[in-house]
């Protein structure tokens, strides 16, 4: 890791979208969550990603969550707004909105229904990037988008589109991340999207991570980042090993339902996920409680 940190670095918290008992967006809870994340040391906030259930929001809801999030952050840290949409026009409109409301960057996942070719992805990213004056962060997450952008294709977009300046790599493949760091200009940022390989990502050159886990254990995530930056590798590796069981339960294994369940346990209730997503079972809730307790740093409600 370099000493001079770029604008987007460290722990970029990836908030959920809280819903109230009727299933509507819970504005008060959203504002509280953002304040809590900044208070716990998050270096930036990235609303309306996968974790923000943006795929399940109406256009009106999406605009409301974007506007509230930017406003509530009040320029204390940068805001990176997720603008992914199935159509190019829809994603471009969201990028325009985020820019106009004062977002600092936009994040774009090439979600697809029909599989997209590399040329289709390139044109899509280009059109969305041209709709905003902010930096654009590409988001590679084959598990949800159905598309694995190769390091080569990402490098081509970085070179061809001026404001594509960051990538969030969520495949968890460290060889692919190393390739990305090696193949892109020094001022380009690579950020980790997988908490189970966050420390390894930092080692090979990532400048930070956009982590759902930071909603549940923000201080531990910030500590892992700082330990690595300070060269305290043995402590960082040990902390990463302790974080893996939690990261699996609130990430790959149970997604947003797992994360919203964990938030309830750490006294930061954000309501239930939106159907078809369903709350986790009692058994999963018990496992979550167990790994959080054994992590020994959280007081559960």
Catalytic residues, by residue number, are 139, 168
Restricting to residues 10-29, which ones interact with its own copies according to CB under 8 A? 23
Judge whether 89 and 59 are in contact, CB under 8 Å.
no
Residues in region 164-183 near its own copies by CB under 8 A:
172-175, 178-179, 181-182
200 binds its own copies (CB under 8 A): yes
Q: Closer to its own copies by CB, 42 or 93: give it.
A: 93
Q: Residue 12 in contact with residue 191, Cβ under 8 Å? A: yes
Q: Is 278 in the site for its own copies (CB under 8 A)?
A: yes
Binding segment toward its own copies, per CB under 8 A, in 28-36, 162-170, 227-235, 286-294: 227-235
Q: Is 119 in the site for its own copies (CB under 8 A)?
A: yes
97 binds its own copies (CB under 8 A): no
Query: Pick from 4, 21, 60, 114: which binds its own copies (CB under 8 A)?
Result: 114
**Window 244-263: contact mask with its own copies (x via CB under 8 A):** x----------xx-------
Interface with its own copies by CB under 8 A: which range of 14-22, 68-76, 81-89, 293-301?
81-89
Contacts of 106 (CB under 8 A, 6+ apart): 80, 81, 82, 83, 94, 95, 98, 99, 128, 132, 134, 135, 136, 137
117 binds its own copies (CB under 8 A): yes
> Per rule CB under 8 A, is residue 275 in the interface with its own copies?
yes
| Residue 127 lies near its own copies (rule: CB under 8 A) | yes
Q: Is 133 helix (H, G, I), strand (E, B) or coil?
A: coil
Residue 275, judged by CB atoms within 10 A of its CB (0-12, 13-18, 19+), counts as exposed
If one counts every other C-beta atom within 10 angstroms of the C-beta of residue 253, the result is: 13
For the stretch 218-226, contacts whose Cβ atoms lie closer than 8 Å and that sit 24 or more positions apart, written own/partner, are: 218/11, 218/13, 218/36, 218/37, 218/40, 218/41, 218/42, 219/40, 219/41, 219/297, 220/295, 220/297, 221/11, 221/195, 222/10, 222/11, 222/40, 222/41, 222/42, 222/43, 224/198, 224/199, 225/10, 225/11
Q: Any contact of residue 185 with its own copies (CB under 8 A)? A: no
Contact flag: residue 121 with its own copies (CB under 8 A)? yes
Size of the site for its own copies (CB under 8 A): 57
Give the separation between CA 76 and CA 24, rounded to whole angstroms: 27
Contact positions vs its own copies (CB under 8 A): 1, 23, 50, 55-56, 86-89, 110-117, 119-121, 123-124, 127, 143-144, 146, 172-175, 178-179, 181-182, 194, 196-197, 199-200, 203-205, 231, 233-234, 237, 240-242, 244, 255-256, 274-278
């Amino acid at each position: 890791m370099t000493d001079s940190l770029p604008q987007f670095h460290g722990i970029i918290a990836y908030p959920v979208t809280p819903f109230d008992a009727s299933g509507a967006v819970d504005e008060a809870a959203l504002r509280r969550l953002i304040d809590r994340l900044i208070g716990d040391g998050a270096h930036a906030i990235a609303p309306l990603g996968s974790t923000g259930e943006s795929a399940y929001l109406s256009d009106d809801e999406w605009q409301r969550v974007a506007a509230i999030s930017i406003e509530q952050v009040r320029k204390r840290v940068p805001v990176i707004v997720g603008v992914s949409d199935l159509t190019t026009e829809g994603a471009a409109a969201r990028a325009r909105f985020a820019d106009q409301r004062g977002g600092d960057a936009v994040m774009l996942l090439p979600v697809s229904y029909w599989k997209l070719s590399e040329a289709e992805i390139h044109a899509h990213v280009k059109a969305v990037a041209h709709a905003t004056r902010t930096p654009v962060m590409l988001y590679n997450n084959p598990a949800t988008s159905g598309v694995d952008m190769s390091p080569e294709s990402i490098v081509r977009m970085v070179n061809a589109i001026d404001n594509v300046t960051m990538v969030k790599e969520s495949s968890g493949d460290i060889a692919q991340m190393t390739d990305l760091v090696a193949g892109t200009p020094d001022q380009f940022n690579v950020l980790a999207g997988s908490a189970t390989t966050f420390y390894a990502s930092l080692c090979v050159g990532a400048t930070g991570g956009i982590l759902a886990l930071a909603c549940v254990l923000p201080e531990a995530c910030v500590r892992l980042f700082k330990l690595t930056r300070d060269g305290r590798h043995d402590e960082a590796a040990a902390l990463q090993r302790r974080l893996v069981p939690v990261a699996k339960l609130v990430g790959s294994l149970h997604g947003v339902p797992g994360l919203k369940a964990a938030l309830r346990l750490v006294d930061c209730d954000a309501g239930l996920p939106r159907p078809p997503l369903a709350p986790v079972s009692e058994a999963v809730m018990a496992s979550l409680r167990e790994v959080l307790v054994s992590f020994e740093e959280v007081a559960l409600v």
